[in-house]
C-alpha cells in the first residue's frame, strides 16, 4: 500500500523531492494525478530509493502517456523503450568516446529538452540511477518558466509568436557528430520540425521559454540572426539563479517536465561505471 505522499522544494525556484511513493508498485489514479500536479508545480521531481527493474520502470512510465520508442541506431540498446545513458554498454564494456555512440552521447552535456526535435515532443522524462561511481557527476536542470518571468515585458512581447526550427542534427553537430555520421534511417525518420518559442503550460496556465540544443534558428529569420537569439536565450535561462543541480544517490529516479525545463549532464571521465536508464512519454498532439 502506498504511504501518504507529498513534495518538498529543493531548488531556488523549482525542483522538489517526493515522499511516500513506491514506484515499484502499481500506482492509483490519485497517485498519478499527484505526480502530474507535482511536475506542474516543481518541474523536476526526485524520487529516492526506487530500485526499479525493467518491467517496473516500463509500467511506471506508461501511467503518463504513450511511451517513447528510442528508435536511434546510434544509441540502440537491448530495449527500444529505454535509452541507457552511461559509460558502459549492455555487456558492461566501456563505450569509447571516439565511437559513434560515445560521440552521440557527448551532446547530453549541452543544455537540452528531450525530444524537442520531434513533431510530438517528449512531455516527461524519467531518469533512473542504476549504478553510480563513488563521486557521481551531477545533472543540472534549468527553470525556463522563471527565466521567462524574469524577462522585461517589452522583451516578452518581442518573443511571443516566434517559432523555432528544431533538429537532432543541430545538437549533435555542436559536438562534432555531423549529419554524415548519422544512420540514414535516423535522418529519414527525424526531419526538422517547428515549435513555438514560448509555451503555455496546460495545467497551470503559466508561460515559459521552450529551448534546447536541438533548437537551430527562428522561422522567417536569417539563419545566423535566429541562431544568435537561441544562444542568447539559452544563456539567459541557464544562469545560476535558474539552475538546480542534482546530486545523485543510487536508485534515485528523477522525473522532469520537458515542457518548461532544460537539463544537461556534467563531464565524467573516471573509470568506475555509471549507468542511467531513461524512459519518456510523448505529447499526444503536436505543440
| pLDDT (0 to 100) of residue 78 | 60
pLDDT band at residue 95 under the 50/70/90 scheme: confident
Whether 227 is covered by a domain: the verdict is: yes
How far apart (Å, rounded) are the C-alpha atoms in residues 32 and 39? 11
Whether 157 is covered by a domain: the verdict is: yes
Burial class (CB in 10 A: 0-12, 13-18, 19+), 264: middle
pLDDT tens for 208-260 read 999 999 999 999 999 999 999 999 999 999 999 999 999 999 999 999 999 99
- Tell me which of 33-37, 87-91, 190-194 is least confident: 87-91
Q: Kindly give, in sequence order, each residue whose CB lies less than 8 Å from that of residue 120, ignoring residues fewer than 6 positions away.
A: 282, 283, 284, 285, 286, 287
CB atoms within 10 A of CB 217: 21
pLDDT tens for 47-75 read 999 999 999 999 999 999 987 665 555 55
How far apart (Å, rounded) are the C-alpha atoms in residues 111 and 244? 13
- Measured in Å, how far apart are the chain's first and last C-alpha atoms? 37
| pLDDT (0 to 100) of residue 77 | 54
How far apart (Å, rounded) are the C-alpha atoms in residues 76 and 94? 15
Whether 153 is covered by a domain: the verdict is: yes
Q: Is the pLDDT of residue 154 over 90?
A: yes
Q: Which of 35, 11, 30, 44 is nearest to 259 (CA)?
A: 44
Q: Kindly give, in sequence order, each residue whose CB lies less than 8 Å from that of residue 153, ignoring residues fewer than 6 positions away.
A: none
Q: Is the pLDDT of residue 101 over 90?
A: no
| pLDDT (0 to 100) of residue 43 | 98
Count of domains for the chain: 1
Check which CATH number belongs to the domain holding 96 and give it: 3.60.130.10
Whether 287 is covered by a domain: the verdict is: no
What is the overall mean pLDDT for the chain?
91
| pLDDT (0 to 100) of residue 175 | 84
Whether 1 is covered by a domain: the verdict is: no
pLDDT tens for 182-201 read 778 877 878 899 999 999 99
Whether 218 is covered by a domain: the verdict is: yes
Residue 263: domain span: 6-282
Whether 248 is covered by a domain: the verdict is: yes
Amino acid at each position: 500500500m502506498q504511504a501518504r505522499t507529498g513534495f518538498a522544494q529543493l531548488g531556488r525556484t523549482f525542483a522538489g523531492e517526493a515522499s511516500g511513493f513506491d514506484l515499484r508498485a502499481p500506482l492509483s489514479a490519485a497517485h498519478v494525478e499527484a505526480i502530474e500536479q507535482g511536475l506542474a508545480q516543481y518541474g523536476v521531481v526526485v524520487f529516492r530509493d526506487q530500485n526499479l527493474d525493467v518491467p517496473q520502470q516500463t509500467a511506471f512510465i506508461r501511467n503518463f502517456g504513450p511511451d517513447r520508442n528510442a528508435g536511434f541506431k546510434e544509441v540502440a540498446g537491448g530495449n527500444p523503450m529505454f535509452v541507457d545513458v552511461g559509460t558502459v554498454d549492455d555487456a558492461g564494456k566501456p563505450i569509447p568516446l571516439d565511437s559513434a555512440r560515445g560521440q552521440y552521447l557527448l551532446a547530453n552535456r549541452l543544455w537540452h529538452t528531450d525530444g524537442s526535435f520531434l513533431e510530438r515532443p517528449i512531455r516527461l522524462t524519467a531518469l533512473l540511477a542504476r549504478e553510480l561511481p563513488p563521486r557521481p557527476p551531477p545533472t543540472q536542470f534549468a527553470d525556463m518558466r522563471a527565466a521567462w518571468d524574469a524577462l522585461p515585458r517589452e522583451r516578452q512581447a518581442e518573443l511571443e509568436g516566434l517559432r523555432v526550427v528544431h533538429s537532432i542534427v543541430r545538437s549533435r553537430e555542436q559536438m562534432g557528430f555531423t549529419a554524415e555520421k548519422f544512420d540514414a534511417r535516423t535522418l529519414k525518420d527525424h526531419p526538422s520540425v517547428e515549435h513555438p518559442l514560448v509555451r503555455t503550460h496546460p495545467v497551470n496556465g503559466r508561460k515559459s521559454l521552450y529551448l534546447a540544443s536541438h533548437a537551430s534558428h527562428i522561422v522567417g529569420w536569417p539563419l545566423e540572426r535566429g541562431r544568435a537569439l537561441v544562444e542568447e536565450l539559452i544563456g539567459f535561462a541557464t544562469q545560476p539563479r535558474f539552475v538546480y543541480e542534482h546530486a545523485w544517490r543510487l536508485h534515485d529516479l528523477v522525473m522532469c517536465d520537458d515542457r518548461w525545463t532544460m537539463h544537461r549532464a556534467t563531464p565524467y571521465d573516471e573509470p568506475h561505471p555509471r549507468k542511467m536508464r531513461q524512459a519518456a512519454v510523448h505529447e499526444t498532439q503536436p505543440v
